[in-house]
Amino acid sequence: MNFLKKYASYAFLSFSVFPLSVFADWGLNLPRGVTPFSQEIYDLHMYVLWIMCAIGVVVFGAMFYSILVHRKSRGAKAANWHHSTQVEIVWTVIPFVILIAVAVPATRSLIMMEDVGDADMTIKVTGYQWKWHYDYIGTEVDFFSTIEEKSNSARRRGSNIDPFEVEHYLRDVDNYVVVPTNKKIRFLTTAGDVIHAWWVPALGWKRDAIPGFINESWAFIKEPGVYRGQCAELCGKDHGFMPIVVRAVPEGEYIAWVEQQSQARALASEQKNSRNILARTRTDQ
Amino acid sequence: MSEAAAHDHHDAQSTGLMRWLTTTNHKDIGTLYLLFSLTMFFIGGSMAMVIRLELFQPGLQFVDPQFYNSMTTMHALIMIFGAVMPAWTGFANWMIPIMIGAPDMALPRLNNWSFWILPFAFLMLLSTLFMPGGAPAGGWTMYPPLVLQTGDAFPYLIFAIHFLGASSIAGAINVIATVFNMRAPGMTLMKLPLFVWTWIITAFLLIASIPVLAGAVTMLLTDKYFGTAFFSAAGGGDPVMFQHIFWFFGHPEVYILILPAFGIVSAIIPTFARKPLFGYSSMVYATGAIAFLSFIVWAHHMFTVGMPLAGELFFMYTTVLIAVPTGVKIFNWVATMWRGSMTFETPMLFALAFVVLFTIGGFSGLMLGVTPVDFQYHDTYFVVAHFHYVLVTGAVFALMAGTYFWLPKWTGHMYNETLGKWHFWLSTISVNVLFFPQHFLGLSGMPRRIPDYAVQFSDFNMVSSIGGFIYGASQILFVVVVVKCIRGGKKATDQVWEGAQGLEWTLPSPPPLHSFTEAPDPSSITGGNR
Amino acid sequence: MSNTNADYYVPHSSHWPITATVAIFTMFVGGASFLNGGEVGVYILAIGLALFVYMLFGWFGTVIGESEAGTFNGQVDISFRMGMGWFIFSEVMFFAAFFGALYYARMYSVPWLGGEGSGAATNQFLWPEFATAWPLLQLPEAYAFSTFKETIGAWGVPFYNTMILLTSGATCTWAHWGLKIGSRKHLIAGLSVTVALGIIFVIMQAVEYGHAYNELGLTLNSGIYGATFFLLTGFHGFHVTMGTIMLATILGRCIKGHFTHERHFGFEACAWYWHFVDVVWIGLFIFVYWI
Ligand code: HEA
Ligand code: HEA
Ligand code: CUA
Ligand SMILES: [Cu+2]
pLDDT per residue as tens digits for the range B471-501: 999 999 999 999 999 998 899 999 899 888 8
Catalytic residue among B275, B301, B378, B439: B301
DSSP annotation of B499 reads T
Helix, strand, coil shares of chain C, percent, nearest 5, are: 75, 0, 25
Question: Looking at the domain assignment, is residue A5 inside a domain?
Answer: no
Please state, in angstroms and rounded to a whole number, the distance separating the CA atoms of residues B201 and B279.
Answer: 18
- Among A74-78, A219-223, B50-54, B125-129, the range scoring the smallest mean pLDDT is A74-78
Res B512 pLDDT > 70? yes
With beta carbons under 8 A apart, name residues in chain A contacting C116: none
The CATH superfamily assigned to C74-290 is Cytochrome c oxidase, subunit III, four-helix bundle (1.20.120.80)
Atom of ligand 2 nearest to the CA of A234: 22
Can you tell me the mean pLDDT for B373-387? Answer: 96
pLDDT attached to residue B435: 96
Res B213 pLDDT > 50? yes
DSSP annotation of B128 reads G
Please state, in angstroms and rounded to a whole number, the distance separating the CA atoms of residues A243 and B450.
Answer: 12
pLDDT per residue as tens digits for the range C250-264: 999 999 888 888 888
Bridge partner residues of A178 (DSSP): A247
Residue B108, preceding peptide bond in cis (omega within 30° of 0): no
Q: Where are the domains of chain B?
A: 20-524
Q: CB distance B339–A216 less than 8 Å?
A: no
Can you tell me the mean pLDDT for B404-420? Answer: 95
Known catalytic residue at B329 = yes
Question: Looking at the domain assignment, is residue A64 inside a domain?
Answer: yes
Q: Which of B177, B195, B209 minimizes the C-alpha distance to B91?
A: B195
pLDDT attached to residue A277: 52
Domain boundaries for CATH 1.10.287.70 within chain C: 1-72
Res B122 pLDDT > 90? yes
**Which of A95, A161, A235 minimises the CB distance to B146?**
A235
- Contact of B443 with chain A, judged by CB distance below 8 Å, is answered with yes
With a 6 Å cutoff on the Cβ, whether B129 touches ligand 1 is no
Nearest ligand by distance to the CA of A195:
3
With a 6 Å cutoff on the Cβ, whether A131 touches ligand 3 is no
Q: Please name the amino acid found at residue B74.
A: M
Question: Looking at the domain assignment, is residue A260 inside a domain?
Answer: no
DSSP annotation of B493 reads P
Query: By alpha-carbon position, which residue is closest to atom 1 of ligand 3?
Result: A196
- Contact of A137 with chain B, judged by CB distance below 8 Å, is answered with no
- Overall number of domains in chain A: 2
Q: Please name the amino acid found at residue A188.
A: L
Q: CB distance A214–C140 less than 8 Å?
A: no
Can you tell me the mean pLDDT for B192-214? Answer: 96
With beta carbons under 8 A apart, name residues in chain A contacting C126: 190, 212-214
Residue B276, preceding peptide bond in cis (omega within 30° of 0): no
Residue C152 pLDDT grade (very low, low, confident, very high; cuts 50, 70, 90)? confident
**DSSP H helical ranges for B64-193:** 65-77, 85-100, 108-127, 153-181
Question: Residue A53 belongs to a domain with what CATH number?
Answer: 1.10.287.90
Q: Which of A162, C38, C132 minimizes the C-alpha distance to B458?
A: A162
pLDDT attached to residue B524: 66
pLDDT attached to residue C19: 94
With beta carbons under 8 A apart, name residues in chain A contacting C112: 213
pLDDT per residue as tens digits for the range C73-94: 888 889 999 999 999 999 999 9
pLDDT, mean over chain B? 92
Distance of CA C106 to the CA centre of its chain: 23
Query: By alpha-carbon position, which residue is closest to atom 21 of ligand 2?
Result: B139
Question: Looking at the domain assignment, is residue A198 inside a domain?
Answer: yes
Q: How many CA atoms lie within 13 A of B351 on its CB side?
A: 33
CB–CB of A242/A173 below 8 Å? no
Known catalytic residue at B162 = no
Question: Looking at the domain assignment, is residue A257 inside a domain?
Answer: no
The CATH classification number of C1-72 equals: 1.10.287.70
The pTM of this model reads 0.93
pLDDT attached to residue A280: 53
Task: CATH number for B20-524: choose from 3.20.190.10, 3.30.750.24, 2.60.40.10, 1.20.210.10.
Answer: 1.20.210.10
Known catalytic residue at B326 = yes
Please name the residues between 136 and 165 in chain B that touch chain A, using a CB distance below 8 Å.
Answer: 137-139, 143, 145-146, 149
Residue C149 pLDDT grade (very low, low, confident, very high; cuts 50, 70, 90)? confident
- Among A80, A99, A114, the domain-final residue is A114
- H or E stretch covering A249: strand A243-249
Structural domain of residue A80, as residue ranges? 12-114
pLDDT per residue as tens digits for the range C1-40: 344 566 788 888 889 999 999 999 999 999 999 999 988 9
Instruction: Let me know if A165 is exposed, middle or buried by CB neighbors in 10 A (0-12, 13-18, 19+).
Output: exposed
Can you tell me the mean pLDDT for B237-258? Answer: 96
Please name the residues between 75 and 104 in chain C that touch chain B, using a CB distance below 8 Å.
Answer: 75, 78-80, 82-83, 86-87, 89-98, 100-101, 104
- Among A57, A88, A114, the domain-final residue is A114
pLDDT attached to residue B293: 96
Res C212 pLDDT > 50? yes
DSSP annotation of C149 reads S
Nearest-CA distance from C18 to chain B in Å?
6
CA A95 to ligand 4 centroid distance, Å: 20
Res B337 pLDDT > 70? yes
Please state, in angstroms and rounded to a whole number, the distance separating the CA atoms of residues B31 and B123.
Answer: 20
Distance of CA C188 to the CA centre of its chain: 24
Please state, in angstroms and rounded to a whole number, the distance separating the CA atoms of residues B526 and B184.
Answer: 12
Q: How many CA atoms lie within 13 A of B235 on its CB side?
A: 24
Q: How much of chain B, in percent, has pLDDT values that exceed 90?
A: 85
Res B14 pLDDT > 90? no
pLDDT attached to residue B60: 92
- Show the CA angle centred on residue B381, arms to residues B378 and B385, nearest 5°: 105
Please state, in angstroms and rounded to a whole number, the distance separating the CA atoms of residues B506 and B490.
Answer: 19
User: Which ipTM score applies to this complex?
Assistant: 0.92
pLDDT attached to residue C143: 83
Residue B515 pLDDT grade (very low, low, confident, very high; cuts 50, 70, 90)? confident
Distance of CA A114 to the CA centre of its chain: 16
Instruction: Let me know if A81 is exposed, middle or buried by CB neighbors in 10 A (0-12, 13-18, 19+).
Output: exposed
CB–CB of B255/B291 below 8 Å? yes
Q: Contacts from C176-184 at CB under 8 Å and sequence distance 24+?
A: C176/C267, C176/C268, C176/C271, C179/C254, C179/C259, C179/C261, C179/C264, C179/C267, C180/C261, C181/C261, C182/C261, C184/C254, C184/C257
Q: What's B337-361 look like in SS3?
A: HCCCCECCCHHHHHHHHHHHHHHHH
β-strands A205-209, A215-220 pairing: unpaired
Please state, in angstroms and rounded to a whole number, the distance separating the CA atoms of residues A7 and B344.
Answer: 11
pLDDT attached to residue C1: 35
Residue A3 pLDDT grade (very low, low, confident, very high; cuts 50, 70, 90)? very low
pLDDT attached to residue A19: 43
With beta carbons under 8 A apart, name residues in chain A contacting C120: 285
pLDDT per residue as tens digits for the range A89-145: 999 999 999 999 999 999 999 998 888 888 899 999 999 999 999 999 988 899 999
Bridge partner residues of A147 (DSSP): A173
Question: Looking at the domain assignment, is residue A95 inside a domain?
Answer: yes
CB–CB of A248/A221 below 8 Å? yes
pLDDT per residue as tens digits for the range A184-217: 999 999 999 999 999 999 999 999 999 999 999 9
Nearest-CA distance from C205 to chain B in Å?
20
Nearest-CA distance from C152 to chain B in Å?
18
Res A42 pLDDT > 60? yes
Can you tell me the mean pLDDT for B222-235? Answer: 94
Distant-in-sequence, close-in-space partners of A220: CB < 8 Å, separation ≥ 6: A35, A36, A37, A182, A183, A184, A185
- Contact of C228 with chain A, judged by CB distance below 8 Å, is answered with no
Residue of A52, A55, A88 to test ligand 1 pocket, by largest number of atoms within 8 Å of CB: A55
DSSP annotation of B413 reads B
Q: How much of chain C, in percent, has pLDDT values that exceed 70?
A: 98
CB–CB of A18/A11 below 8 Å? no
Known catalytic residue at B75 = yes
Helices (H) then strands (E): counts for chain B:
18, 0
Can you tell me the mean pLDDT for B235-239? Answer: 94
pLDDT attached to residue B87: 97
**Same domain for A105 and A125?**
no
CA torsion, points B326, B328, B333, B335, in degrees to nearest 10?
Answer: 160
Res B335 pLDDT > 50? yes
Can you tell me the mean pLDDT for A76-83? Answer: 85
pLDDT attached to residue C146: 84
Res A5 pLDDT > 80? no
Q: In what order do the strands lie in the sheet with A177-180?
A: A177-180, A243-249, A225-230
With beta carbons under 8 A apart, name residues in chain A contacting B324: 92, 95-96, 99
DSSP string, C159-193: HHHHHHHHHHHHHHHHHHHHHHTT-HHHHHHHHHH
- Contact of C169 with chain B, judged by CB distance below 8 Å, is answered with no
Q: How far is CA C98 from CA B148, B216, B253, C101, C224, in A?
A: 19, 8, 19, 5, 11
Task: Name chain C's partners: 3 or more CB pairs within 8 A.
Answer: A, B
Residue A264 pLDDT grade (very low, low, confident, very high; cuts 50, 70, 90)? confident
**Same domain for A110 and A125?**
no
Residue B161, number of CB atoms within 10 A of its CB: 24
Nearest ligand by distance to the CA of A196:
3
- Show the CA angle centred on residue C224, arms to residues C223 and C230, nearest 5°: 95
**Same domain for A107 and A158?**
no
**Same domain for A245 and A180?**
yes
Q: How many CA atoms lie within 13 A of A63 on its CB side?
A: 27
